[in-house]
A and B are shown apart, each in its own frame.
Chain A
Amino acid sequence: MNAQRRHPRWRLRALAPYLFIAPFFLLFFVFGLFPLCFSVYLSLHQWEPAAGLAAMQWVGFDNYRFALSDPWLHKSLYNTLWLAVASGLPQHVVAVPLAFFIHMRLSRSRNLVVAAYFVPYITSSVAIALIFSTLFSKDFGAINAAFQGMSNLPGAGALLHGVRPDWLGDADWTKPSVAFVIFWRYIGWNVVLYLSALQVIDPALYEAATLDGAGSWQQFRHIALPLLRPMMFFAITLTLIGNLQLFEEPFILIGTESGVSQSAMTTAMFMYRVAFSDGDFGTASAISWLLFLIIAVLTWGNARLFNRGGSDHGAL
């Protein structure tokens, strides 16, 4: 009798932890795992979404074949890689020395300076893109107005005379413009990453180097740089993944309607277009998995590169 009464109570107790953790798993299954698995399933089907779920048609790997042979996909991959390199590389080339400078030379103003660099990162990308589209405007933009002003200066100013690029409307300028916005936005994030890594480097190393007569450059080159390696790997991996999925900035700055939209169409934008403009969700899913594959391979390559190089500095 006693045991019988205790039984359901015991069961409830055993169940409690699962109930408590259920909200996470429920949300994860509904909004995380299910869409993930469904997109694999979808990528193997041809589907006109407005016609309902019954209209799904099994096509095997046809969507992948179709996507891989599309000239716009090739162009979008080229654009994506171009933007990833042109906006990603400068981020690190500038962020590492900048972080070193902030770390060594600034004391009281440090937090303020870091915050200033970090603000773009936490600002809405839509707001950023809208502000920049105003700055980049051909006739009313601040950038071209500055060029105009500088052209009146003596000397090199003459070079700028009549220079008024159509930053977002000329196919030659769209990619550099977008790359600059991305560089500007993420540099602060990388500075923060490198700064946090610099702060754990033992100051005794710098002191010893100073006693041995090493200057700032030598300290940077032979102490900071090698010890930043693990953080560089982490930061570059994040940049790689983020930059290959670029969507918002080119989408708002260049858009899909303008004539030059092709010149800055990233793979993520092409995918969006295939899904929501052409209504071909199967091919769009296939493109997203192809993009995932490319990101996975490049990340793996990046890891290999860093691991191999690691032994060179093992002696330090």
Chain B
Amino acid sequence: MHKFVKTIMLGAALLAAGTVMAQKTVLTVASFPDLDRAAKAALPQWTRLHPDIEVKMISLQYPDHHTAMTTALATGSGMPDVMAVDFRFIGKFAESGGLEDLSKPPYDGNALRSRFVRFSFPQATSSSGALTAIPADIGPGTLLYRKDILERAGVAEADLTRSWESFIEAGKKIKSSTGAYLLANATDIRDIALRSGLSDGEGVFFDANGKALVETPRFVRAFELGRAARSAGIDARAVAWTNEWAAGFRNNRIASQMMGAWLAGHLKNWMAPDSKGLWRSAGLPGGVHASYGGSFYAIPKKAANKAAAWEFILLLTANRDVQLQSLRVLDSFPALLAAQGDPAMDEPIEFLGGQPARRLWRDSAAKIPAITVNRHDAMATDVVNAEFERVLSEGKAIPAALADARALIERRTRR
């Protein structure tokens, strides 16, 4: 009976859609899970505002989506009206020249700049100054740690955040008294240290002129800290997003992880649901404020319905209610300052033992420097990773490793 009713309803809906389609404009939105859930949740609001424009969602898996969008930009066909872009790809897509410059009329997107968290707009701005996308959510970096394991070892939160030296000392204490590793991987400490002391306009791997910064003292210090963590034996040598890594949290073998605040959602939903209430969030050690990922929406130059696309992007990014709704649906952190001022920020988070951690994340997000993104960042990350591994496993001297990394990066960026 149920099935029958459903079929009838589906048929009626299809029929209705077919007849309406004749007059309706269709806005194509290309996205990926879980981000697409935010757009889907906003559809009722959209239909209320624009009953004459129908939204068609195309959702592909994360890597497939970005490959499909690269292909669409390369060939100029199969282009959506609204394109979701992840942080990892925004640098590359921004430089491509295939996206609308939203700073120009009729968009005048820069007028929105002051309404968004400071560091997010520069991420979407190309080297020629074109604003290619509007930020939807951000990933303020945080230190998530297991309060119970720390207590058993007699270590306080301040021991982790005071300085890197005290962080490593605390790690040793935790290892000897509880057997748990403080870090999943020595590369984590290196990555945070690489992001310390940056100011607006600087990049992690390249300066504003595209010069490689790999041999600067910042890199030397980061490599030294990573090596110190490895030789102190406080890292589980697990690679992020592997089974080993997730199991480390499930089996109480890894006591902390420095990552985007969204990791709390992953821990809660699938990685370590049983450890509910045992986690806490703290600022990154050494007073670092860093961004881990984020999502953007862009309009391709060859899009068919640019005006409607812009309206849709504004609804998703600059509308306070929609942004807060995304926070509820996705556990994503809003890029819009108005949403960050909402009482939702003060709500206790059950998984973090009732800690109102969003306040902490908001304050940290405000202090994240507006660093520049370079289209060679992914390549530079690979090269630095490979040389760092050589320092750890082959005992290669750090200056030699960094000199080799710089030579290779410069070789590959020269063309």
Give A contacts to B, CB under 8 Å.
Answer: 46, 48-53, 55, 62, 66, 70-72, 133-134, 137-140, 166, 169-171, 255-262, 273, 276-280
Contact = CB atoms under 8 A, between A and B. Distances in A.
A255 B411 CA distance: 24
A46 B415 contact: yes
Interface in B387-415: 388-389, 392-394, 408, 411-412, 415
Interface in B226-256: 237-244, 247, 253
Given A50-B98, A171-B394, A259-B185, 16 more contacts: A46-B415, A48-B95, A50-B93, A50-B96, A51-B74, A51-B95, A52-B73, A52-B98, A66-B415, A133-B242, A138-B244, A259-B385, A259-B386, A261-B385, A277-B378, A278-B378
4 residue pairs, one from A and one from B, having the closest CB atoms? A50-B96, A259-B389, A49-B74, A258-B239
26 contacts: A50-B74, A50-B92, A50-B96, A51-B98, A53-B74, A53-B76, A66-B415, A72-B408, A133-B243, A138-B244, A139-B244, A139-B247, A140-B243, A140-B244, A140-B247, A166-B237, A169-B238, A169-B239, A257-B241, A258-B242, A259-B239, A259-B392, A260-B389, A260-B393, A273-B382, A279-B92
Contacts of B269: none
A279 B97 CA distance: 15
Contacts of A48: 95-96
Contact of B73 (A51, A137, A259): A51
A280 B411 CA distance: 13
Contacts of A133: 242-243
A171 B379 CA distance: 21
B28 to A, nearest CB: 19
B175 interface: no
Contact of B244 (A71, A72, A137, A279): A137
A53 B408 CA distance: 28
B67 interface: yes
Nearest to A279: B92
B187 interface: yes
B145 to A, nearest CB: 21
Nearest to B94: A50
A52 B385 contact: no
A58 to B, nearest CB: 14
A278 B379 contact: yes
B128 interface: no
A276 to B, nearest CB: 7
A277 B376 CA distance: 9
A213 B242 CA distance: 59
Nearest to B74: A49
A284 to B, nearest CB: 13
A151 to B, nearest CB: 20
A46 B415 CA distance: 9
